Structures are given as C-alpha cells and as structure tokens.
C-alpha cells in the first residue's frame, strides 16, 4: 500500500495527493483532541485505539462478504455472542441488513430469528458459527482467493506493468 501510494505521489497523481492532503488536515483536530483534551500519548492512541479499532473493523469486514455469482449469496450471517453482536451493531447479520436495509440495527436479531431458514436459503447458506470459528478456521488459511475470482484483471495489471489510478 505505502509503496503504491509513494509511487503515485512521485508520479504526480493529483487525486492521491489531494486525498492525503485532506487526510492530514482531518488529523489536526483529532490530534488536538487526543493530546490536548484527553492527554493520551500518541503511542497509546496508535496501538490501543487506532490499531485495535482497525483490527476489529477489518475482522468484521473480512467476514461480511464473499465472491459469488449470485448477489444474494455474497453476504454472511455470523452467529455470534451478544457482546460481539453489540460491538458490531448486529452487522454480523449482514444478509438480513442487505435484505431489509431500512430495518434498524436493533431489530435485525428478531428478524433473523423469525426468518432464519429463509435468510440462509437466500444467502446460499453463507453462515459462520461465530468469530472464534472464523479465527480458528482462517488464521492460517485463506477464506477465499485473494484476487477477485469473478472478474478477469487486465493482463497488464497482472504483470504489474500498469497501476490503476484510484
């Protein structure tokens, strides 16, 4: 990631430069708040909050979707403990959210429980038996292939001779 970003900046990619500039500007009030108001050390913030928070959201994101020809079969149900469900605002019931996007997050469990068989039928049975199961099954084994399997990448990109702009 960093290599790609640096190369794009060196090549004068203005979209990347603008994105990083806006990111740096947005960091100013966050840093002022963290250091000045909360008196949290930058290292503590980076590891205890930013890194840990990113790890949790990536765990959820990792589990939520998969490549599948059928759109309805791309989103997951993770049957997890109430604490993890609350942490992710019931997004572990992602297939229910996709089926009924207007439903408030706190009503997703009831909708899932009432229509579990239909939900699992509609999402192709894409069910994970909790985040612990996800961890034990995929800590050292890919959940899915890294390259997106349903779309062919241009041959130049496969060879690494061309980098797409964001």
Mean pLDDT of 111-136: 93
The single-letter DSSP state of residue 77 is E
Tens-digit pLDDT profile for residues 88-100: 889 889 899 989 9
φ/ψ of residue 75, rounded to 5: -110, 145
- 123: pLDDT strictly greater than 80: yes
Tens-digit pLDDT profile for residues 125-164: 999 999 899 889 888 988 887 777 776 655 544 444 444 4
CA distance 143 to 78: 14
- 62: pLDDT strictly greater than 50: yes
Percent of the chain with pLDDT over 70: 90
């Amino acid at each position: 990631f960093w290599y790609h970003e640096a190369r794009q900046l060196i090549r004068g990619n203005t979209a990347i430069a603008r994105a990083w500039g806006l990111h740096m500007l947005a960091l100013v009030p966050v840093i002022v708040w963290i250091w000045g108001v909360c008196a949290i050390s930058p290292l503590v913030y980076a590891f205890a909050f930013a890194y840990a928070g990113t790890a949790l959201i990536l765990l959820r994101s990792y589990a939520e979707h998969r490549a599948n020809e059928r759109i309805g079969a791309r989103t997951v149900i993770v049957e997890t403990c109430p604490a993890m469900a609350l942490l992710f605002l019931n997004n572990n019931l992602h297939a229910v959210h996709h089926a009924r996007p207007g439903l408030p997050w706190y009503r997703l469990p009831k909708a899932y429980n009432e229509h579990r068989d239909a939900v699992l039928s509609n999402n192709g049975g894409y069910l994970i038996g909790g985040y612990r199961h996800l961890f034990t099954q995929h800590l050292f084994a890919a959940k899915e292939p890294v390259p997106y399997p349903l779309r062919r990448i241009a041959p130049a990109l496969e060879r690494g001779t061309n980098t797409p702009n964001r």
